[in-house]
Amino acid sequence: MTPVELTVNGREVHLQLDPRTSLLDALREHLKLTGTKKGCDHGQCGACTVIVEGRRINSCLTLAVMHDGEQVTTIEGLGTPEALHPMQKAFVVHDGYQCGYCTPGQICSAVSVLEEIKAGVPSHVTENLDRVAFSEDEVRERMSGNICRCAAYSNIIAAISDVAGESKA
Amino acid sequence: MKPFTYERANSVEAAAKAAASVQGARFIAGGTNLLDLMKLQIETPTHLIDVNRLGLDRIEKTEEGGLRIGALVRNTDLAADTTVRRDYGVLSRALVAGASGQLRNKATTAGNLLQRTRCPYFYDIRMPCNKRKPGSGCGALKGMSRSLAILGVSDACIAQHPSDMAVAMRLLDAQVETMGADGTKRAIPIADFHLLPGETPHKETVLNAGEIITSVTLPKPVAGTHVYRKVRDRASYAFALVSVAAIFGKDGTARFAFGGIGAKPWRTAEADAAASEGAKAVAQAALAGARTTEHNDFKRPLVERTLASLYRQQEARA
Ligand SMILES: Cc1cc2nc3c(=O)[nH]c(=O)nc-3n(C[C@H](O)[C@H](O)[C@H](O)COP(=O)(O)OP(=O)(O)OC[C@H]3O[C@@H](n4cnc5c(N)ncnc54)[C@H](O)[C@@H]3O)c2cc1C
Ligand code: SF4
Ligand code: FES
Ligand code: FES
């Protein structure tokens, strides 16, 4: 067992983990934060997306021990049912889900996507590498690591665009 | 996953030494390839050496006017770096054509170069595979080989090198800088870094036991239009069937490197020399010695068409 200290959603936690424990399993099985979902467990679906040190990653393809001392934000930390994060609210308003299984990952990813665009990180559809700006095509490309079995894609794009509009205003 | 012990290395020297002295030890960087393979027990390291906090995450200018990219620079950061975007556009383009935003946030320069093939038989431990289990045979040769390589292949293995980034690195004549277990440093031209399968497809690079990649250097920028065109089964988040990295110069010269078709990132002097003759000639030169199967023969015309499309785009720009 290896000691691991994390700050999850602002709360410091101390765990003793088998080094094999993925960050995803640490969150779900040890901390009982079951908002983050396990889909494929192989980096292919995005259901496990969380934000670590300000960046979205697949929590299934990383070991908890590798994140000792780091800050993790999960869907539970973005907002609460009483005080939803704007992205959570937009997903509700725009019906950005059906079964909801992929939704925590979609929302964590979406929050980061808008930050990545703001930070000027280019994507595959960015025409001019020096001019990174919001567009629906940009969102589609940047969200391609989040698969939705219910195919709520168009409403997901609407939700993200809504939040992007709000943040511009 | 098989049990393993874990350590966080304190220095590059210590990491290399530990890797050489512990039987079955491996470095772990982003973990996006290694952990995937460990879950499937295709990789079974007994000891993991975490190289994430060794300060190998910087991008700096070299004295020669090029760029030194730390082994642990994340794919996202490399693609977004202002110098890379301005002077090595083909590298930015190749990076963002690969994987997903989440994966690129973790994936590192060294890990990307060392990612293993996506051959479906390599991934299925019930199947024969010379790369995974030397001497067991090759399931792909007479099986589903649609995604696999047509250049540099052997009777033992026809696996493709899956990286997009490495194709751009090959185009740019990158060098891989390493430190050995005894502290010796060397710089390996990327052309020599990956090995062809031959009789020993399980040997994929020239790295020695314990040798750690510290950085990758790029020579001075190459002027011209930098492009990376990736053809795949989906518009996003899929490996290349064929990809072409190219730099078109103003004087009609060009250089090309290819992904999805080679046992390693593919580039030939003959293809570059044929640049002024157009797509067909370049494709012919690049595909010299190609060996296809019934399932992946489509890659030959696809290479030519991808090149033709790039030429047309280039003419439209001029
Ligand atoms: C669903 C999915 C889709 C993908 N799609 C694409 C794609 O379209 N295009 C593409 O190019 N890639 C794609 N990838 C692969 C991805 O790019 C690689 O997984 C990633 O680049 C590996 O980097 P890493 O740092 O995570 O490596 P790790 O998994 O940490 O390591 C990989 C290997 O490198 C070794 N290593 C790491 N660092 C060092 C070092 N400094 N010195 C020596 N050895 C080292 C490790 O021991 C290991 O053997 C995809 C991956 C997934 C899971
Ligand atoms: S092509 Fe190579 S990796 Fe694929 S089954 Fe054959 S030996 Fe294994
Ligand atoms: S569970 Fe992590 S990507 Fe699917
Ligand atoms: S809402 Fe059901 S998988 Fe996306």
Helices (H), B81-145: 82-87, 89-96, 101-106, 109-113
Ligand 4 nearest atom to the CA of residue A150, by list position: 2
Give the SS3 label for residue B145: coil
Co-location of A39 and A105 in the same domain: no
Find which of B105, B124, B231 to mutate to test the A interface (most A CBs within 10 Å of its CB): B105
This prediction's pTM: 0.98
Q: Nearest residue of A to residue B83 by CA position? A: A130
Residue A168 lies in a domain: no
Nearest CA, atom 4, ligand 4? A148
Q: Nearest residue of B to residue A58 by CA position? A: B102
CATH number of A141's domain: 1.10.150.120
Q: How far apart are CA A106 and CA A98, in angstroms?
A: 13
Q: Cα distance from B128 to chain A (closest Cα, Å)?
A: 22
Find which of A129, A137, A153 to mutate to test the B interface (most B CBs within 10 Å of its CB): A129
Co-location of A107 and A39 in the same domain: no
Co-location of A92 and A70 in the same domain: no
Co-location of A63 and A91 in the same domain: no
Co-location of A58 and A93 in the same domain: no
Tell me the chain B residues in contact with residue A129 when contact means C-beta distances shorter than 8 Å: 85-86, 89, 92-93
Residue A50 lies in a domain: yes
Number of domains in chain A: 2
CATH number of A65's domain: 3.10.20.30
Q: Nearest residue of A to residue B97 by CA position? A: A124
> Is residue A23 lining ligand 4, measured as CB closer than 6 Å?
no
From B56, B69, B114, mutation site for ligand 1 pocket: most ligand atoms within 8 A of C-beta: B114
Contact B97, B164 (CB under 8 A): yes
pLDDT of res. A74: 98
**What angle do helix axes A103-118 and A86-93 make, rounded to 10 degrees?**
120
pLDDT of res. A166: 57
Tell me the chain B residues in contact with residue A122 when contact means C-beta distances shorter than 8 Å: 79-80, 85, 92, 96
In terms of Cα–Cα distance, which of A66, A140, A16 is closest to B51? Answer: A66
Residues of chain A with pLDDT under 70: 166-169
Q: How far is the CA of A116 from the centre of ligand 4 (A)?
A: 24
Q: Domain ends where: A78, A97, A117?
A: A78
Q: How far is the CA of B295 from the centre of ligand 1 (A)?
A: 27
Residue A169 lies in a domain: no
Tell me the chain A residues in contact with residue B8 when contact means C-beta distances shorter than 8 Å: 68
Residue A91 lies in a domain: yes
Question: What CA–CA distances, in Å, run from B181 to B16, B20, B99, B174, B212?
Answer: 5, 6, 32, 23, 8
Co-location of A74 and A108 in the same domain: no
Co-location of A105 and A49 in the same domain: no
β-strand B47-50 against B25-28: which pairing, if any?
parallel
pLDDT of res. A168: 42
Co-location of A93 and A157 in the same domain: yes
Residue A31 lies in a domain: yes
Tell me the chain A residues in contact with residue B3 when contact means C-beta distances shorter than 8 Å: 18, 20
Q: Which residues pair with B50 in a beta bridge?
A: B8, B28
Per-residue pLDDT of chain B (318 residues; tens, 9 = 90+): 999 999 999 999 999 999 999 999 999 999 999 999 999 999 999 999 999 999 999 999 999 999 999 999 999 999 999 999 999 999 999 999 999 999 999 999 999 999 999 999 999 999 999 999 999 999 999 999 999 999 999 999 999 999 999 999 999 999 999 999 999 999 999 999 999 999 999 999 999 999 999 999 999 999 999 999 999 999 999 999 999 999 999 999 999 999 999 999 999 999 999 999 999 999 999 999 999 999 999 999 999 999 999 999 999 987
Q: Which residues contact B92 (CB under 8 A, 6 or more apart)?
A: A122, A129, B78, B79, B80, B81, B84, B85
Co-location of A100 and A72 in the same domain: no
Ligand 3 nearest atom to the CA of residue A48, by list position: 2
Contact B132, B51 (CB under 8 A): no
The token pair that represents B94 in the structure block:
């190749």
Q: How many CA atoms lie within 13 A of B165 on its CB side?
A: 26
Co-location of A114 and A147 in the same domain: yes
Ligand 2 nearest atom to the CA of residue B128, by list position: 5
Q: Domain ends where: A53, A78, A103?
A: A78
pLDDT of res. B318: 77
Interchain pair A42, B100: CB under 8 A: no
Q: How far apart are CA B81 and CA B70, in angstroms?
A: 13
Q: How far is the CA of A90 from the centre of ligand 4 (A)?
A: 16
Contact A103, A96 (CB under 8 A): yes
Ligand 4 nearest atom to the CA of residue A96, by list position: 1
Domain extent at residue A63: 2-78
Give the SS3 label for residue A146: coil
pLDDT of res. B317: 87
Q: Phi and psi of A57, rounded to 5°?
A: -145, 165
Q: How far apart are CA B228 and CA B83, in angstroms?
A: 17
Q: Domain ends where: A31, A57, A78?
A: A78
* Residue keyed to tokens 């909801």: A100
Co-location of A71 and A116 in the same domain: no
